[in-house]
Structure 1
């Protein structure tokens, strides 16, 4: 018997400052990801992105632009995630996470990023492209 297909829509923020990428690490894991989460009822992807960044990091952000939309099938979930390029406009690192799943918030340099485990390794090359580094 086939399980009913389910849908999950989310938003993710790519935020660079001083050539560092804002990332979060969940409790009980050594993996990192960019701030992201599900779109709630009545929310646009943009509003969800801004809310998730604030909840997970304490920063207020403006969205520069939609970068791309990732579609994946994970288990019986059809997952759609909108990725936005954002700028910090205010705030400081603080925890407002209502789900209490974030354990650490950090700005990761290019060298840091290359050496950390990532929650979504399929995003690695795309995220690396936002660092200003010499290409050899």
Structure 2
């Protein structure tokens, strides 16, 4: 399919961990069911990917973070019927993933956004959660195996 026949979305996400072996996740509320995701989301037009990841973590969790490293870039194709907005166009999502750590703030749930809860989970708990694919991608890139 030619690139003019589908939509593209660039997003940035952060794998935020703590000293207790936990990872920060946000509860995404825009799909057909609520699922856990890495904090992150779509970039604004003139925003650098790193800045978008930092902004999204703050909006979705209340934490200020600092980027440690680029983990990688992943892509995923959403068929038109699985998109959260009615359309006949599929979408290719490019997801830039970073490792980050908390530098301040406190856990706060997002209001009127695409997520409505944030929480810390031990990596060993993540396999049992209803989650979107970017969680597994990010944890794999960060070297954190799901059990």
- TM-score band, normalised by the shorter chain? 0.7 to 0.9
Deviation at 1:78, TM superposition (A): 1.9
Structure 1 unaligned residues grouped into runs of 5+? none
Q: Distance in 1 between matches of 2:12 and 2:121?
A: 20
Instruction: Give runs of aligned pairs for residues 1-136 of structure 1, distance below 5 A.
Output: 4-17=5-18, 18-27=20-29, 29-75=33-79, 76-97=90-111, 99-120=112-133, 123-124=135-136, 127=139, 129-130=143-144
Deviation at 1:80, TM superposition (A): 0.7
Superposed CA RMSD: 2.5
Total equivalences in the alignment: 130
Greater strand content: 1
Task: Give the TM-score normalised by structure 1.
Answer: 0.83
Structure 2 unaligned residues grouped into runs of 5+? 80-89
Task: Give the TM-score normalised by structure 2.
Answer: 0.77
Deviation at 1:123, TM superposition (A): 4.5
Q: Distance in 2 between matches of 1:23 and 1:85?
A: 13
Deviation at 1:71, TM superposition (A): 1.6
